[in-house]
């Protein structure tokens, strides 16, 4: 719906190449398909090569199936997040090539190959317990085309584990830090590099952790500059942000 498109459409209307009802209808129908309970956006993925995405939480199996059925018509890759196993069981009946990443609860339907970027995203996690969220970021970033490396279980309570892996930090263009409990890892990584760091607080912890609030506040208040924070447990969002950054870098390469 950007201005350039509007102008082109106006030109066509003026030149009589398109009639007004058609023009109005085009504007209306192009970007999505209205299923009643959902409006499937066929639009975004075409623009940048990203897959179409569906967030499964709080949706019924029928709704998810309906939305994916619509998506399958456009021959895009499809990513379904927060998908319970029963979602997978249903979807593989309509799309046999569906892959299920159990730990991160992501479904990926790869209908066409992905070209991996030259730039690299590094996903760093604090503890073994944070891996589910870290994997959500890894799977998402790969589905969005980014090259991904990982560095797990390097929490600040054993700093030498992180310091031994500085090369990995040096080699990535963007770093995603996934950490629960007090979330101090983001500040430490942010202090070691001068590149974009995306921090994902996790709900791992107990007591005054308050389901991730503690890690969220830590990261938002980080004394290290250059850190952007996403929602608690939102590995998907971090990977999406990382991939938009990578996209800009790749554009600059060409």
The phi, psi pair for 240, rounded to 5°, reads: -65, -45
Nearer to a copy of itself by Cβ, of 97 and 254: the residue is 254
Beta carbons within 10 angstroms of residue 176's beta carbon:
30
State the nearest-atom distance from the C-beta of 74 to a copy of itself, in Å. 15
* Closest to 48 (Cα-Cα) out of 167, 169, 143: 143
- C-beta of 44 vs 90, nearer to a copy of itself: 44
Identify each DSSP E strand in the chain by its residue range.
32-34, 39-41, 52-55, 78-81, 99-101, 106-109, 120-125, 147-151, 174-179, 197-201, 227-229
Contact 243, 121 (CB under 8 A): yes
Asked whether the CA dihedral 243, 246, 251, 254 is positive or negative, the reply is: negative
Using only C-alpha atoms, the chain has a radius of gyration, in whole angstroms, of 21
CB atoms within 10 A of CB 193: 16
**Is the CB of 4 or the CB of 112 nearer to a copy of itself?**
4
For residue 73, count CB atoms less than 10 angstroms from its CB and return exposed for 0-12, middle for 13-18, buried for 19 or more.
Answer: exposed
Cβ at position 150, least distance to a copy of itself in Å: 9
To the nearest whole angstrom, how small is the minimum distance from the Cβ of residue 95 to a copy of itself? 19
Least Å from the CB of residue 63 to a copy of itself: 6
Closer CB to a copy of itself, 95 or 198, in the complex: 198
The nearer residue to a copy of itself, 64 or 95, going by C-beta atoms, is 64
Q: Which residue has the tokens 């996403």?
A: 230
Compute the least distance from the CB of residue 177 to a copy of itself, in Å. Answer: 12
Q: Which helix (H) or strand (E) holds 86?
A: helix 85-94
- Identify which of residues 9 and 72 has a Cβ nearer to a copy of itself in the complex: 9
State the minimum distance, in angstroms, from the CB of residue 188 to a copy of itself.
Answer: 5
Dihedral sign, CA of 169, 172, 175, 176?
Answer: negative
Nearer to a copy of itself, 19 or 97 (CB): 19
Q: How far is the CB of 73 from a copy of itself (least distance, A)?
A: 18
Nearest to 52 by CA among 39, 36, 63, 61: 39
């Amino acid at each position: 719906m950007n201005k350039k498109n509007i102008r082109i459409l106006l030109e066509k209307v003026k030149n009589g190449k398109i009639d007004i009802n058609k023009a109005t209808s085009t504007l209306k129908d192009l970007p999505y398909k209205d299923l009643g309970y959902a409006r499937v956006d066929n639009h975004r993925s075409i623009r940048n090569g990203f897959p179409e995405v569906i967030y499964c939480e709080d949706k019924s199996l029928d709704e998810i199936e309906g939305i994916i059925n619509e998506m399958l018509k456009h021959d895009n890759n499809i990513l379904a997040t927060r998908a319970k196993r029963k979602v997978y069981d249903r979807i593989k009946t309509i799309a046999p090539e569906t892959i299920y990443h159990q730990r991160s609860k992501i479904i990926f339907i790869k209908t066409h190959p992905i070209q991996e970027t030259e730039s690299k995203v590094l996903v760093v996690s604090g503890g073994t317990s944070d891996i589910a969220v870290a994997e959500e970021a890894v799977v998402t970033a790969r589905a969005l085309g980014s090259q991904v490396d990982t560095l797990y279980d390097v929490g600040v309570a054993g700093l030498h584990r992180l310091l031994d892996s500085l090369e990995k930090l040096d080699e990535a263009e963007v770093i995603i830090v996934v950490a629960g409990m007090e979330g101090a890892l983001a500040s430490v990584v942010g202090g070691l590099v001068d590149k974009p760091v995306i921090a994902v607080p996790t709900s791992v912890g107990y007591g005054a952790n308050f389901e991730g609030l503690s890690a969220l506040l830590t990261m938002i208040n980080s004394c290290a500059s250059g850190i952007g924070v996403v929602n608690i447990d939102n590995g998907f969002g971090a990977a999406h942000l990382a991939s938009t950054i990578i996209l800009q870098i790749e554009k600059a390469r060409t």
